[in-house]
């Protein structure tokens, strides 16, 4: 299926690994020109080289910590005009109310919550001036399931869900769309690392980590590419009537 995305300029935060990297691969296959943003320049260079080796698209990289508004504005200025913004950077630590202290909570929200909001603010204004563009926020299903042991993430994700719906509700008047995706468990390098450690503790064998996903829907976690495919569709003109929507991809769990 031609998603009509060839030549679109896309910026992906957290674009060097996991969901961000898989999204970059999918959008490169659709002919998009990419700007990948992450903290680790080495990981960015590796991702960009791999994409350029597969597809004849432009791939730029910008190394940045997006936990401050000043950094967000610098990256946005360097990136220039965008057709699509994919907010994906950030991970909020697990823990209940008494185990996540203020410093860890605020540090995580500065990147995942306020970083998303800051990037939306800057890029939305640029897109509004041209009356075209799509913003996609990769959030997380904890914003719907409210796990006590992931309270900072549940609260932050729920906030971003409301933010997306509120911004997306008014976006059509400006010629724009704003949507979000809530992934459930996704087989990223980080998830595999955690499952391997869990399998070592439980079974004495890290290679048995897939046994820990057997009770998930379809007997597995989602793949990063499955999330990337959804990003591409939502970014495309084929989804032109979709805004203010949060798509949950968790296998029905």
Task: Count the domains in the chain.
Answer: 1
Q: What is the pLDDT of residues 62-71, one digit of tens each?
A: 999 999 999 9
Q: What is the DSSP string of 155-183?
A: HHHHHHHHHHHHHHHHGGGGT-EEEEEEE
Domain membership of residue 176 (yes or no) is: yes
Domain membership of residue 197 (yes or no) is: no
- CA–CA separation, 143 vs 163, rounded Å? 12
Domain membership of residue 3 (yes or no) is: no
In the numeric block, the tokens 């299903």 are attached to: 141
- CA–CA separation, 10 vs 73, rounded Å? 16
Q: What is the pLDDT of residues 156-214, one digit of tens each?
A: 999 999 999 999 999 999 999 999 999 999 998 888 888 888 888 889 999 998 988 88
Full domain range(s) for residue 106 = 9-186+222-249
- CA–CA separation, 75 vs 172, rounded Å? 26
> What's the CATH number where 158 sits?
3.40.50.720
Instruction: Give the pLDDT mean for 151-155.
Output: 96
pLDDT at position 214: 87
Domain membership of residue 211 (yes or no) is: no
pLDDT at position 238: 97
Extract the tokens encoding 192: 């595999």
- 116 as an active site residue: the answer is no
pTM given for the model: 0.94
Of 116, 124, 150, 241, the active-site residue reads 150
121 Cβ neighbours under 8 A, 6+ residues apart? none
Contact 183, 251 (CB under 8 A): no
Domain membership of residue 215 (yes or no) is: no
The alpha carbon of 173 is separated from its chain's Cα centroid by a whole number of angstroms, namely 25
Domain membership of residue 94 (yes or no) is: yes
Domain membership of residue 37 (yes or no) is: yes
Domain membership of residue 83 (yes or no) is: yes
pLDDT at position 198: 86
């Amino acid at each position: 299926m031609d998603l009509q995305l060839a030549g679109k300029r896309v910026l992906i935060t957290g674009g060097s690994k996991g969901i961000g990297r898989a999204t970059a691969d999918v959008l490169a296959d659709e002919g998009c020109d990419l700007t990948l943003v992450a903290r680790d320049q080495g990981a960015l260079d590796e991702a960009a080289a791999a994409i350029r080796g597969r597809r004849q698209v432009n791939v730029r990289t910008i190394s940045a910590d997006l936990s401050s508004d000043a950094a967000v504005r610098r990256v946005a200025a360097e990136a220039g005009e965008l057709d699509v913004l994919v907010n994906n950077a950030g991970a909020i630590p697990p823990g209940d109310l008494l185990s996540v202290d203020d410093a860890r909570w605020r540090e995580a929200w500065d990147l995942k919550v306020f970083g998303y909001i800051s990037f939306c603010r800057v890029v939305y204004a640029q897109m509004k001036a041209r009356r075209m563009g799509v913003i996609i926020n990769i959030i997380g299903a904890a914003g719907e399931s409210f796990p006590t042991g992931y309270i900072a993430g549940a609260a932050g994700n729920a906030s971003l869900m409301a933010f997306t719906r509120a911004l997306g509700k008014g976006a059509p008047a400006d010629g724009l769309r704003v949507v979000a995706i809530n992934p459930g468990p996704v087989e990223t390098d980080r998830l595999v690392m955690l499952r391997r450690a869990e399998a070592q503790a439980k079974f004495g064998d890290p290679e048995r980590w897939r046994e820990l996903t057997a009770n998930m829907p379809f007997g597995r976690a989602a793949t990063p590419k499955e999330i990337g495919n959804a990003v591409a569709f939502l970014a495309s003109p084929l989804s032109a009537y979709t805004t203010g929507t949060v798509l949950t991809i968790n296998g029905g769990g």
